[in-house]
């Protein structure tokens, strides 16, 4: 069994592999050097892993590139695979999320906030028009990182059911394959708006699906951590025993229900780890209680931020947990957060991390 870790940075994509049960890692040189890689997906359902990456060039704009040989070669279409219809008057600024779904379906969330769907494994995409034409769209705002759909969660058993989240706009979901979309933010607060509990407009930073129950979700908000046990219909706060409720990532265990990881920051105004300590917080009871995990992580004052897609879990047993920082460090745990070790350091600003076993 080999573990593959894809690390998207401000200056390229790095691939790390481990053949000794995640004890040591070999890290490649940069693929797409100079490109910003905000989104990576690893699809292990075929005979060999397929890598899909959102490569953003400051000269040529964004694209989706594919490799079926672990990065030895890449396929990039001559024509942009992601493009708005001419009548929209819009252009894709960045690819924030790539998610394989059932069969050859692949979803992509982009900036400005829009969802694209591919039926040929990510080679070509079409705009999900009903979400783009939603009457709320003119009022969706831009978070500090931009206006983007950064979370796409297709239901594992029902291809008609998809949940997305955006900054800012909140959570939306469809139950009819994308023909219609409804906001799903009841209970999530937006303290920065005149009405702190609006129908939409929340700045949701990330949403994760529970590994055992596909109708249970967890959300890290712009101040606030929440769970939903009714498919995103309503949300309840689970930030009570966290040292702070601000942060970017939230990650769910791939199989064990109620186990989630978070990396809290002091506040919106002070985006630094709580107590200036490098600590991951884990809950094993769906957020009722949280425990800090630090064994093997730096014990000196720590300041870097972990971005929304820069933390992930793999599907091994026990599950591995990984996170990368804006200072270019990557840490790994092969025992679900109990202990940690360094994968690599001195990389460019880390934007996303994805892991899988094959």
Strand 236-237: give its sheet, edge to edge: 204-209, 217-221, 225-228, 236-237
Could you write out the DSSP letters of every residue in 232-277? TSB-EE--TTSS-SEEEEEEE-SSSTT-EEEEEES-SSS-SBGGG-
Task: Give me the pLDDT at residue 61, please.
Answer: 87
The band of 8, judged by pLDDT with boundaries at 50, 70 and 90, is very high
Q: What pLDDT does residue 78 have?
A: 79
Q: Which domain holds residue 20?
A: 3-357
CB 6 within 8 A of CB 358: no
Say what the alpha-carbon torsion angle 276, 320, 206, 224 is, to the nearest 10 degrees: -50
Report how many domains make up the chain.
1
Return the pLDDT at 319.
Answer: 97
pLDDT grade for 48, boundaries at 50, 70 and 90: confident
Average pLDDT over residues 63-72: 95
278 neighbors 323 (Cβ within 8 angstroms): no
| pLDDT tens digit sequence for 294-350 | 999 999 999 999 999 999 999 999 999 999 999 999 999 999 999 999 999 999 999
Task: Over range 132-140, report the average pLDDT.
Answer: 97
> In CATH, what number is assigned to the domain containing residue 149?
2.130.10.10
Give the mean pLDDT of the chain: 96
Provide the pLDDT for residue 47. 87
pLDDT in tens, 265-305: 999 999 999 999 999 999 999 999 999 999 999 999 999 99
Q: How far is CA 120 from the centre of its chain?
A: 22
Cut 0.85: pTM above it: yes
Instruction: Output the pLDDT for position 46.
Output: 85
Which residue, 74, 93, 89, 97, is CA-closest to 8? 97
Q: Is the pLDDT of residue 150 over 90?
A: yes
Q: Could you read off the pLDDT of 210-246 as tens digits, one per residue?
A: 999 999 999 999 999 999 999 999 999 999 999 999 9
Query: Under a CB-based contact definition with an 8 Å cutoff, are residues 114 and 148 in contact?
Result: no
Label residue 60 by pLDDT band (50, 70, 90). confident
**Rounded mean pLDDT, 10-29:** 97
């Amino acid at each position: 069994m080999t573990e593959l870790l894809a690390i998207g940075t401000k200056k390229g994509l790095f691939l790390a592999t481990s053949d000794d049960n995640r004890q040591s890692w070999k890290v490649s040189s940069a693929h797409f050097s100079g490109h910003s890689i905000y989104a990576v997906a690893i699809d292990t359902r075929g005979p060999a892993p397929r890598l899909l990456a959102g490569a953003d060039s400051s000269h040529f704009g964004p694209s989706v590139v594919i490799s079926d040989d672990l990065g030895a070669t890449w396929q990039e279409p001559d024509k942009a695979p992601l493009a708005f219809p001419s009548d929209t008057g819009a252009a894709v600024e960045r690819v924030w999320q790539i998610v394989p779904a059932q069969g050859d379906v692949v979803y992509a969330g982009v900036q400005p906030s829009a969802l694209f769907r591919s039926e040929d494994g990510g080679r070509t995409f079409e705009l999900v028009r009903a979400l783009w034409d939603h009457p709320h769209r003119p009022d969706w705002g831009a978070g500090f990182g931009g206006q983007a759909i950064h979370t796409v969660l297709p239901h594992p058993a029902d291809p008609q059911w998809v949940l997305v989240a955006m900054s800012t706009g909140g959570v939306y979901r469809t139950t009819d394959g994308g023909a219609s979309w409804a906001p799903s933010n009841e209970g999530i607060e937006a303290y920065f708006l005149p009405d702190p509990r609006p129908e939409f407009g929340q700045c949701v930073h990330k949403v994760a699906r529970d590994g055992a129950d596909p109708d249970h979700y967890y959300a890290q908000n712009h101040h606030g951590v929440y769970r939903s046990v009714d498919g995103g219909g309503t949300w309840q706060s689970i930030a009570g025993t966290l040292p702070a409720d601000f942060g970017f990532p939230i990650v769910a265990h791939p199989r064990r229900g109620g186990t989630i990881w978070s990396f809290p920051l002091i506040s919106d105004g002070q985006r630094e780890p709580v107590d200036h300590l490098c600590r991951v917080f884990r809950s094993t009871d769906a957020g009722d209680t949280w425990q800090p995990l630090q064994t093997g992580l730096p014990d000196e004052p720590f300041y870097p931020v972990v971005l929304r897609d820069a933390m992930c879990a793999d599907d091994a047993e026990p599950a591995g947990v990984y996170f990368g920082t804006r200072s270019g460090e990557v840490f790994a745990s092969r025992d679900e957060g109990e202990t940690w070790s360094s994968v690599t350091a001195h990389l460019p600003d880390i934007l996303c991390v994805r892991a899988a076993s094959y």
